[in-house]
Amino acid sequence: MSEFFLRALGVLFLCVLCSFSWGTSADAFKRPMVINRVNELGLEIWTEANPEWEVRTDGGNGQPIFIAESPALAVPPAGMSWISSPDVMFSERDMHDGARGAIQQVAFNYGVREPEGLALQPTSYGQLKGYQAQFSATAHGTPVDVIVFCGHMPGKPAVLAHAFTLQGKLGLISEHIRRSWTHLRYLR
């Protein structure tokens, strides 16, 4: 056998060996998440751990809001928030109208002029089924893109989750949103 053939065979063997080792250790490369048990909302909310997002619970208008923001030097800058109240529950039949009202209110708060025109899409994340919408707006003079989800598990309170980032950059945080919202759980 030629020396070239033996080298090529050796490289091929190493490639196959590496592919087996990568496949067996794929769990080691999963992104770490911080699990936040937010008793005020009755929710378990996962946020990024590397880099770790800054989290806090605020009491806006008497309603607790859990807020997560990307670190100061993260690109693109982004934020998420969650609201849930044991007093806000919808039947399966009323979920669409309830989600529409909640999502329109978020859009209105962002200054969207005709929030009733937003297209709602049926969506589920983990245990929750509901509706979501996306829109562009301006926040503190900065153009942003926003995604809002309102959903629930039957018999449990509705949850309103929203995420935002710079306009045109929503795709760059889509995995952050998926990892967080897919693991959203009720504490009780």
Domain ranges within the chain, ordered by starting residue: 1-30, 32-186
**Tell me: the pLDDT tens digits for 51-108?**
999 999 998 677 899 999 999 989 999 999 999 988 899 988 899 999 999 999 999 9
* Cα 163 from Cα 177, distance rounded (Å): 7
Task: Give the pLDDT band (50/70/90) at residue 14.
Answer: very low
Average predicted confidence (pLDDT) for the chain: 85
pLDDT of residue 134: 97
Task: Give the pLDDT band (50/70/90) at residue 1.
Answer: very low
The CATH architecture annotation of domain 32-186 reads 3-Layer(aba) Sandwich (3.40)
- Mean pLDDT, residues 11-16: 34
pLDDT of residue 60: 66
* Cα 150 from Cα 133, distance rounded (Å): 9
